[in-house]
Amino acid sequence: MKKKTILITGVSSGLGNAFAKKAIEEGHKVIGTVRNQKSAQDFSNLNTQLAYPVLLDINNFDEIPKVVENILNTHGSIDVLINNAGYGHEGILEESPLQELIDQFNTNVFGVVAMIKAVLPSMRKNRNGHIINVTSMGGFITMPGISYYCGSKFALEGISESLGKEVKDFNIHVTTLAPGQFRTDWAGRSMKRSNRVINDYDEIMNPIREAREKKSGFQPGDPDKAAQAVMKIIQTQNPPTRLYLGDDALLFVNDKLNSMKNEISKWEELSRSTNFVEKGN
pLDDT tens readout for residues 224-234: 999 999 999 99
Instruction: Share the mean pLDDT of the chain.
Output: 95
pLDDT digits (tens, 9 = 90+) for 249-271: 999 999 999 999 999 999 999 99
Rounded Cα–Cα distance for residues 231 and 22 (Å): 8
Is the pLDDT at 281 greater than 70, yes or no?
A: no
Report the DSSP beta bridge partners of residue 182: 221
Segment 38-55 mean pLDDT = 96
Confidence of residue 187 (pLDDT cuts 50, 70, 90): low
Is the pLDDT at 125 greater than 80, yes or no?
A: yes
Phi, psi (rounded to 5 degrees) for 136: 180, 160
Could you tell me what percent of the chain has a pLDDT over 70? 99
More confidently predicted of 183 and 68:
68
Amino acid at 206: N
List, by residue number, the catalytic residues.
149
Q: What is the pLDDT of residue 261?
A: 98
3-state secondary structure of 55: strand
pLDDT digits (tens, 9 = 90+) for 127-161: 999 999 999 999 999 999 999 999 999 999 999 99
Q: What is the pLDDT of residue 217?
A: 73
Are the C-beta atoms of 116 and 159 separated by less than 8 Å?
Answer: no
Is the pLDDT at 184 greater than 80, yes or no?
A: no
Phi, psi (rounded to 5 degrees) for 65: -60, -35
DSSP letter at 178 equals: E
Give the full edge-to-edge strand order of the sheet including 51-55: 51-55, 29-34, 5-9, 80-83, 129-134, 172-179, 242-245
Q: What is the pLDDT of residue 188?
A: 67
Is the pLDDT at 280 greater than 80, yes or no?
A: no
Q: What is the pLDDT of residue 213?
A: 81
The number of beta carbons lying within 10 Å of the beta carbon of residue 126 is 15
